[in-house]
Amino acid sequence: MSTTGGIGPVSGAEPKIRLLLLGGFRLLHGGRAVVVPRGLQRGIALIGLRPAATRTQLARLLWPDGSEERALSSLRTALWRLRRDPLCPVITDGDTVRLHPKVDLDVDELTRVAARVSQGGDPRPAAGVLAAGRHDLLPGWYDDWVLVERERLRQLRLHLLDELARAHLRVGEHGEALQAALEAMAADPLRETPHRLVVEAHLAEGNAYEALHAFFTYRDLLSRELQLAPSAAMSALISDVLAPIHAPA
Our CA angle for 218, 223, 226, nearest 5°, is 110
pLDDT tens-digit map of 133-177: 788 999 999 999 999 999 999 999 999 999 989 989 999 999 999
**Residue 64 scores a pLDDT above 50:** yes
Domains belonging to the chain, first-starting first, are 2-101 (1.10.10.10), 105-246 (1.25.40.10)
* Helix count and strand count (H, E) for the chain: 11, 7
> pLDDT category, 120, cuts 50, 70, 90?
confident
Q: What is the pLDDT of residue 6?
A: 36
CB 164 within 8 Å of CB 130: yes
Q: What is the pTM of this model?
A: 0.84
Our CA angle for 236, 242, 245, nearest 5°, is 155
pLDDT tens-digit map of 68-102: 999 999 999 999 999 888 888 999 888 999 999 98
Selection from 3-17, 120-134, 157-171 with the highest mean pLDDT: 157-171
Q: What is the mean pLDDT of residues 227-235?
A: 96
Residue 31 has φ and ψ, to the nearest 5°, of: 85, -5
Cα-Cα end-to-end distance for the chain: 78
Q: Worst-scoring range by mean pLDDT, 84-98, 174-188, 222-236?
A: 84-98
